[in-house]
């Protein structure tokens, strides 16, 4: 088995992280390396991959990297966990053309599951399939919060592709006796996010002197979760040893997109400026969800809780994208 021993009978974990150079995947990769685990990183290196992070990870002797598409790969090393973060994630892009979303989020997951399924288990147990899902598989909810027992009700091609992959994971687990974890996080934010997403895109548009387009008057409500807290949830679940479970993970802080952009504008200009002058509220999105909200009591019972506070973090994140990001 591909492991290292740090002492008699002490096994170092080996995890495979797909999408390791993506936004959330890079946070997960870093968190695993900080645990002293070996990480076998896989990334297709598409437009959303941050190649500047590769040197940082390769400086760690516990990191190995391969450039590969999860929909076509044929090999995975013996390991403890497959943490599948690789995915196409932009809702707007999925509405324009869902082809890449089906390829990565459905066909890619099916291929990964089959590679795990056909791995021989005479030397070591098959890995646990730790799959990243999304709060969007539940659809919107006007009051209250979704629990893990709620039915999925996706409302756009992106969330439908993620719901399909969740069903594949559960079906393969039951049919082929595979172990799994499904993680459903709310809206993630942090540094090194691709500029198609709301926070970095807003800063980019302000840099260019263009208005920030908010669909449906900026009224949709999103729950914000820092990706460092998402990665910490992964570590907490793995350390707990639980398996065959679904976990919601929430930042515990929600606001309208209009309120989010208002804070970005105020931090960008460092003054209480008239934010309405910088936004266009006339955009409409097909299949728009009104509000996402998750109950993550189950995860918190493992001892996890979010440590990053949006209103505290947003200043530094705006400064990061304003001064350090290469457009």
**Residue 65 belongs to domain with CATH number:** 3.40.50.720
Residue 260 — pLDDT band, cuts 50, 70, 90?
very high
**Full domain range(s) for residue 297:** 11-194+224-252+292-308
Q: Is 259 contained in some domain?
A: no
Mention every residue, 6+ apart, whose C-beta is less than 8 A from residue 89: 48, 134, 158
Structure-block tokens of residue 72: 């076509």
Structure-block tokens of residue 172: 């393969």
Q: Is 69 contained in some domain?
A: yes
Structure-block tokens of residue 22: 């993506």
Q: Is 298 contained in some domain?
A: yes
Q: Is 73 contained in some domain?
A: yes
Comparing 27-31, 99-103, 140-144, 321-325, the range with the smallest average pLDDT is: 321-325
The H-or-E segment that residue 318 falls in is helix 310-323
For residue 122, the model assigns a pLDDT of 59
**Could you give phi then psi for residue 139, rounded to 5 degrees?**
80, -175
Q: Give the pLDDT mean for 35-41.
A: 98
> Average model confidence (pLDDT) for the chain?
93
Question: pLDDT tens, 113-138?
Answer: 999 999 887 567 899 999 999 999 99
- Tracing tokens 């990243």 back to the chain, one arrives at 132
Q: Is 265 contained in some domain?
A: no
pTM over 0.85: yes
289 is catalytic: no
Question: pLDDT tens, 199-258?
Answer: 999 999 999 999 999 989 999 999 999 999 999 999 999 999 999 999 999 998 999 999
For residue 16, the model assigns a pLDDT of 98
- Catalytic hit among 135, 229, 254, 289: 135
CB atoms within 10 A of CB 203: 25
pLDDT of residue 50 exceeding 70: yes
Q: Give the pLDDT mean for 269-286.
A: 86
Domain count, the chain: 1
Q: Is 95 contained in some domain?
A: yes
Q: Give the pLDDT mean for 295-320.
A: 97
Inter-CA distances, 219 with 185, 295, 305, Å:
21, 21, 27
158 is catalytic: yes
- Catalytic hit among 158, 192, 268, 278: 158
Q: Is 149 contained in some domain?
A: yes
Q: Which has the higher per-residue pLDDT, 289 or 43?
A: 43
For residue 121, the model assigns a pLDDT of 73
d(CA 152, CA 192): 30
135 is catalytic: yes
- Catalytic hit among 69, 78, 88, 136: 136
Q: Is 215 contained in some domain?
A: no
């Amino acid at each position: 088995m591909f492991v290292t021993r740090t002492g008699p009978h002490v096994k170092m974990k080996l995890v495979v992280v797909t999408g390791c150079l993506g936004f959330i995947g890079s946070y997960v990769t870093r968190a695993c390396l900080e645990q002293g685990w070996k990480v076998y990183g896989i990334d297709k290196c598409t437009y959303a991959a941050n190649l500047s992070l590769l040197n940082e990870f390769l400086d760690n002797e516990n990191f190995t990297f391969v450039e590969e598409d999860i929909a076509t790969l044929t090999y995975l090393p013996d390991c403890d966990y497959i943490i599948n973060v690789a995915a196409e994630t932009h809702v707007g892009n999925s509405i324009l053309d869902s082809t890449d979303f089906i390829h990565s989020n459905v066909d890619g997951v099916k291929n990964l599951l089959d590679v795990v399924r056909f791995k021989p288990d005479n030397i070591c147990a098959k890995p646990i399939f730790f799959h990243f899902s999304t709060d969007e598989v539940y659809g919107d909810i006007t009051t209250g919060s979704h629990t893990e027992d709620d039915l999925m009700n996706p409302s756009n091609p992106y969330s439908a592709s993620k719901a399909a992959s969740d069903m594949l994971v559960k079906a393969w687990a039951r049919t082929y006796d595979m172990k799994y974890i499904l993680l459903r996080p709310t809206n993630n934010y942090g540094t090194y996010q691709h500029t198609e997403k709301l926070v970095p895109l807003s800063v980019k548009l302000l840099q260019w002197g263009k208005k920030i387009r908010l669909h449906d008057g900026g009224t949709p409500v999103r729950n914000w979760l820092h990706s460092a807290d998402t990665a910490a949830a992964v570590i907490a679940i793995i350390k707990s040893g639980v398996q065959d479970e679904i976990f919601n993970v929430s930042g515990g802080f929600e606001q309208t997109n209009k309120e989010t952009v208002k804070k970005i504008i105020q931090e960008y200009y460092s003054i209480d400026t008239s934010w309405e002058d910088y936004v266009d509220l006339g955009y409409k999105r097909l299949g728009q969800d009104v509000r996402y909200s998750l109950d993550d009591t189950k995860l918190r019972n493992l001892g996890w809780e979010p440590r990053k506070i949006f209103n505290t973090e947003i200043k530094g994140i705006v400064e990061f994208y304003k001064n350090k990001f290469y457009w």
